[in-house]
């Protein structure tokens, strides 16, 4: 297979930096351009961004001139990753898709468009077929696919095998989210040190809707949302990386914690998602210790691509309680977009 040429949109922000870090040494993908807002354009990447990851900025990227967010300036690109804010994404991403490029976006702008797949390969790889509808309706040579919100990613991966095995009726989800999810400068230390913030604007709505969409069914080029109800409460806590989510789950067919554990441990995910470069052998790491998962210890499971699940026990009201940890800027953001692009290459959507 020919390696693909990749550009990063919004390359200077925290998610943009994660894309650069995670793509360093990627077997299929080569970053050939980095793009960002006018303010940064024209400067070498290393001067335009303040690199804040603990691994060094790859030398091959450091001296790349930052390009404007303009598809005409980015010739010969097969694939762009979008780490843009939602507002910018709304205008910029279609321009790239129209110009014939595949856009794998972490932005929320098109997550709910009926012809744009919201994808987690292990969960709903088949939804990628919406791409054909999208290209037909919009008359684009390229296309846009999106990955869900970081918190939803963890929830949907944990719920998928339970839904398949027992059917979901209702899910209560209370999240304790890391500050890296808010970007940079993001959350003021004045707000979050020695504190919990009980409001993350817009987050609960995203969690509630995206999860139903991901577990929905594609039929006749239309995704019907899953019918279970999700009630989310989102909180910010003084943690760098790794979102923790406490779930209470009501099933259609009651199951014991042992049965749930077996189903979660055996989860392999959609066939099409297996064996991709960023795809962990097991999408879920089921913890055996009573006090796990914990974000500091478990966020890096499977290089940040595994979602950790533990404390599977009965619920006095619903059927099961469990705790989920997901690396919010790897699996829940840049890593999720990269995995999506690998699926699309493998399935022939990106050539």
By C-beta, is 333 or 344 nearer to its own copies?
333
Contact call for residues 286 and 264 (beta carbons, < 8 A): yes
Which entry of 49, 127, 150, 346 is annotated as an active-site residue?
150
**What minimum distance in Å lies between the beta carbon of 26 and its own copies?**
21
Q: Residues 97-116 vs its own copies: string with x where CB under 8 A?
A: --------------------
Q: Cβ distance 274 to 268 under 8 Å?
A: yes
Binding flag, residue 224, its own copies (CB under 8 A): no
Query: Which residue's CB is nearer to its own copies, number 86 or number 193?
Result: 193
**Measured between alpha carbons, how far is 122 from 68 in angstroms, rounded to an integer?**
34
Kindly tell me the burial class for residue 198, based on how many C-beta atoms sit within 10 Å of its own C-beta (0-12, 13-18, 19 or more): exposed
Tell me phi and psi for residue 346, to 5 degrees.
-60, -35
For 7, the enclosing helix (H) or strand (E) is: strand 4-9
Among 179, 223, 255, 307, binds its own copies (CB under 8 A): 179
CA distance linking residue 142 with residue 100, whole number of Å: 4
Our answer to whether residue 243 is catalytic in this structure is yes
Q: How far is CA 319 from the centre of its chain?
A: 28
- 235 part of the interface to its own copies, by CB under 8 A: yes
Known catalytic membership, residue 287: no
Site string for its own copies, 298-337 (x = CB under 8 A): xxxx--------xx---xxxx--x-x--------------
8 A C-beta contact, residue 293 and residue 303: no
Mask 244-273, x = binds its own copies (CB under 8 A)? Answer: x-x-x-------------------------
CB-CB contact of 299 with 332 (8 Å): no
CA 333 to chain centre: 4
Q: Does 137 bind its own copies (CB under 8 A)?
A: no
Would you tell me how many other CB atoms lie within 10 Å of the CB of residue 75? 10
Show contacts with its own copies in window 272-291 (CB under 8 A).
Answer: 290-291
Element (H, E) at 251: strand 243-251
Q: Which of 127, 243, 327, 346 is catalytic?
A: 243
Among 61, 131, 176, 334, binds its own copies (CB under 8 A): 176
Q: Under the criterion CB under 8 A, does residue 150 sit at the interface with its own copies?
A: no
Asked if 233 is part of the footprint of its own copies (rule: CB under 8 A), the reply reads: yes
128 versus 230: smaller Cβ distance to its own copies: 230
> 46-85 mask for its own copies (x: CB under 8 A)?
------xxxxx-----------------------------
In the sheet where 143-146 sits, what is the strand order? Answer: 66-67, 29-35, 4-9, 79-82, 102-105, 143-146
Report helix, strand or coil for 28. Answer: coil
Cis peptide before 185 (omega within 30 of 0): yes
User: Residue 239 Cβ, how far from its own copies at the closest point, in Å?
Assistant: 6
Q: Which stretch binds its own copies (CB under 8 A): 85-93, 178-186, 256-264, 331-339?
A: 178-186
Q: Which residues are catalytic?
A: 150, 243
Could you list the residues that contact its own copies (CB under 8 A)? Answer: 14, 52-56, 170-172, 174, 176, 179-180, 184-199, 208, 229-231, 233, 235, 237-240, 244, 246, 248, 290-301, 310-311, 315-318, 321, 323
């Amino acid at each position: 297979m020919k390696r693909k040429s990749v550009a990063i949109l919004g390359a200077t922000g925290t998610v943009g930096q994660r894309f650069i870090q995670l793509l360093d040494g990627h077997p299929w993908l080569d970053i050939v351009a980095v793009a960002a807002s006018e303010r940064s354009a024209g400067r070498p990447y290393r001067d335009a961004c303040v690199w804040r990851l603990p691994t060094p900025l790859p030398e091959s990227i450091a001296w790349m001139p930052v390009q404007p967010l303009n598809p005409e300036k980015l010739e010969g690109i097969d694939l762009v990753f979008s780490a843009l804010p939602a507002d910018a994404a709304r205008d910029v991403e279609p321009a790239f898709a129209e110009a014939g490029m595949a856009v794998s976006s972490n932005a929320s702008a098109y997550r709910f468009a009926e012809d744009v797949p919201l994808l987690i390969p292990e969960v709903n790889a088949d939804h990628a077929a919406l791409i054909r509808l999208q290209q037909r309706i919009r008359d684009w040579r390229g296309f846009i696919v999106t990955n869900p919100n970081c918190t939803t990613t963890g929830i949907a991966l944990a719920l998928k095998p339970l839904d398949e095995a027992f059917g979901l009726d209702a899910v209560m989800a209370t999240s304790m989210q890391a500050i890296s999810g808010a970007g940079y400068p993001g959350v003021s230390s004045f707000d979050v040190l020695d504190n919990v913030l009980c409001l993350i604007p817009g987050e609960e709505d995203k969690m509630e809707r995206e999860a139903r969409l991901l577990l929905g069914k594609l039929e006749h080029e239309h995704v019907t949302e899953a019918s279970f109800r999700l009630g989310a409460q989102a909180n910010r806590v003084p943690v760098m990386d790794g979102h923790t989510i406490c779930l209470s789950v009501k099933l259609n067919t009651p199951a014991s914690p042992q049965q749930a554990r077996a189903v979660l441990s055996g989860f392999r995910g959609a066939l099409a998602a297996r064996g991709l470069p960023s795809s962990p052998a097991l999408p879920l790491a089921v913890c055996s210790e009573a006090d796990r998962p914990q974000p500091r210890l478990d966020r890096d499971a499977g290089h940040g691509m595994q979602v950790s699940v533990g404390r599977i026990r009965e619920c006095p009201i619903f059927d099961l309680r469990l705790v989920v940890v997901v690396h919010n800027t790897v699996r829940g953001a840049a890593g999720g977009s990269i995995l999506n692009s690998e699926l699309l290459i493998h399935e022939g959507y990106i050539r």
